[in-house]
Amino acid sequence: MQYETISVTQPDNGISLITVNRPKKLNALNKNTINELHEAFKTAEGNPEVKVIILTGVGEKAFVAGADISEFANYNQVQGEELAAKGQRLLFDFIENLSKPVIAAINGFALGGGLELAMASHFRIASATAKMGLPEVSLGLIPGYGGTQRLAQLVGKGLAIEMITTASMIDAQKALDSGLVNHVVPTDQLLETAKSIAGKITKNSPVAISAALKAINANYQKTTNGYDVEIKAFGACFATQDFKEGTSAFLEKRKANFSGQ
């Protein structure tokens, strides 16, 4: 599929790279970008050759420097609610609930919807020059793509409230110290590091990884008992070919060759 605002690589050793490609707009999200990202993630989800997805922005200035404000500056209350609801359903919640791990490689500014996009990913790696924040209150708004929820889950309520109410940015080291990102690396090592970690993931059972992601996410769903989801997912693993292969390989002292079945 041809895209206008993103680029997607063919799977390489099980890893697919999705890049937001709007450099003149610092990779800001607009409706078309959100739709194209949805299609790209949906395609990757359905491609058995893809084991891990890395998400980044083109260039070194920005991962995604927010949303394209010009698209919604004249919206009313109903349109604003629809904008948030559709965006969350189509992209942010969609990414969070993918069965394949998504690594956000933050290569510069991740602001507003950009930080929300990174937080919807399963974990984050930042370049040393990255800056992150949710500045929406400076526009008379609040984060609308899950930012008020995911930021507090990741860094704690106090820091989340401070970041959101002051509209302040934090640097990569602060993001690392607070748990917002897993790793901070030099800019020229960002994708290399992301691919190295992704490579470790590809060696493991896709079925088990999918079950683990589902169980972990269940802990953050108020109407779901995460322990019950874990128990059922754990039991379901015993019926898979990957379980048989993994245990056989362990007992036979060889590397497992997982089929994803």
Mean pLDDT of successive 10-residue stretches along the chain, which has 261 residues: 93 97 95 97 97 96 91 92 96 97 97 98 98 96 96 97 98 98 97 98 96 94 86 91 90 89 86
Q: Nearest-CA neighbor of 55 among 82, 18, 106?
A: 18
Active site residues: 116, 136
Residue 67, pLDDT score:
87
- DSSP 8-state assignment for residue 29: B
Residue 212, pLDDT score:
96
- Strands, E assignment, the chain: 6-8, 15-20, 52-57, 62-65, 102-106, 109-111, 123-127, 131-133, 169-171, 183-185
Residue 222, pLDDT score:
81
Would you give the end-to-end CA distance of the chain in angstroms?
A: 27
Which structure tokens are listed for 66?
């927010």
The DSSP H or E segment spanning 58 is none
Residue 121, pLDDT score:
98
CA distance readout (Å), 155 to 96, 124, 159, 166, 178: 17, 13, 6, 16, 5
